[in-house]
A and B are shown apart, each in its own frame.
Chain A
Amino acid sequence: AQSVTQLGSHVSVSEGALVLLRCNYSSSVPPYLFWYVQYPNQGLQLLLKYTSAATLVKGINGFEAEFKKSETSFHLTKPSAHMSDAAEYFCAVSRSSGSARQLTFGSGTQLTVLP
C-alpha cells in the first residue's frame, strides 16, 4: 500500500522567507509524486510532478521539489514567500490500479504568509 505523510498541518512564514513544506511517502515501487495547491473555495491546481526523470523538479510560481529516494521524501520549497502563496498544499503519490492510476493524498499543509 502507498501512503503520504505531510509533516505539519499548519506552517507560517514571513513574507520573503524560505518556504519548506515536508512530504514523505511510502511506496513499494518507484513512485510518481505530485504537489497540488488549493486556494480558498477553489479546486486543486498542479504545482509540479516527479515521474522518474530529474530528481529536482521545478514547478509554477517559483516552487520546486527534490525527490530523495534514500529519505523517501519529496519536500516542496520556495526561496522567498509571497503573500499570494498563502493556500493549502497537498502532496500525492500515484499508483497503478488496473489500467488507471490512483492518487493517494496527504492530509495537507496550510501555509500562512505573514507580512
Chain B
Amino acid sequence: DAGITQSPRHKVTETGTPVTLRCHQTENHRYMYWYRQDPGHGLRLIHYSYGVKDTDKGEVSDGYSVSRSKTEDFLLTLESATSSQTSVYFCAISVRPGGEETQYFGPGTRLLVL
C-alpha cells in the first residue's frame, strides 16, 4: 500500500461542466502522475508533477490541467468535460528503492461524462 487515495471514486457529470479529481498521498513522494485508462489503450499519461508547483504534460494532456500546491495533493481538472473524457483515471506516485524508480497506483476514479 503506497498510501494513495483518490476522490471521488465515482462521478457522473454532464458535458461542459468542470470536474476536479483529487489524488492524495501520505508519504511526501516528490513525483506524482495522472493516467487515464481506456479499453485497448492500456494507461496513458496525462500530466505529471516533480514537485510543488512543478508540472509537465504527458501524452494525452489536451483538455486537462493540473495543480500541485502541496506535496501531498495533486489535482486533475477537466475545465469543460466532454464525452471523450469518460474514462478511469489513476493517480500514481514514484518511489526509488535503491535508486530504481517504481510507480505505484491509486485505486482509480471512474468518470462518466453524459
**Known A42-B107, A43-B90; contact A105-B44, beta-carbon cutoff 8 A:** yes
- Whether A100 pairs with B48 at a CB distance below 8 angstroms is yes
Instruction: Give the A-B pair count, Cβ closer than 8 A.
Output: 55
Total residues of chain A contacting the partner, CB 8 A: 26
B contact residues, range: 20 to 34
Q: In angstroms, how far is the closest chain A Cβ from the Cβ of B9?
A: 10
**A27 at interface by CB-CB < 8 Å:** no
- Whether B43 pairs with A100 at a CB distance below 8 angstroms is no
CA distance A95 to B41 in the complex (A): 18
CA distance A46 to B42 in the complex (A): 15
- Whether B100 pairs with A32 at a CB distance below 8 angstroms is yes
Please give me the residue from chain A that is nearest to B56 by CB atom. Answer: A98
Q: Mark B39-62, 1 if CB is under 8 A from A, else 0.
A: 011111100101000001010000
Residues of A contacting B: mostly: strand
Partner of B58, one of A94, A101, A102, A107: A102
Q: In angstroms, how far is the closest chain A Cβ from the Cβ of B93?
A: 11
- Whether A100 pairs with B104 at a CB distance below 8 angstroms is no
**A74 at interface by CB-CB < 8 Å:** no
Partner of A105, one of B42, B56, B100, B106: B42
Partner of A103, one of B103, B106, B107, B108: B103
Please give me the residue from chain A that is nearest to B107 by CB atom. Answer: A43
Chain A 1-47 residues near chain B, CB threshold 8 A? 4, 9, 32, 34, 36, 42-46
- Report which A residues bind B (CB closer than 8 A): 4, 9, 32, 34, 36, 42-46, 49, 51, 90, 92, 94, 97-103, 105-108
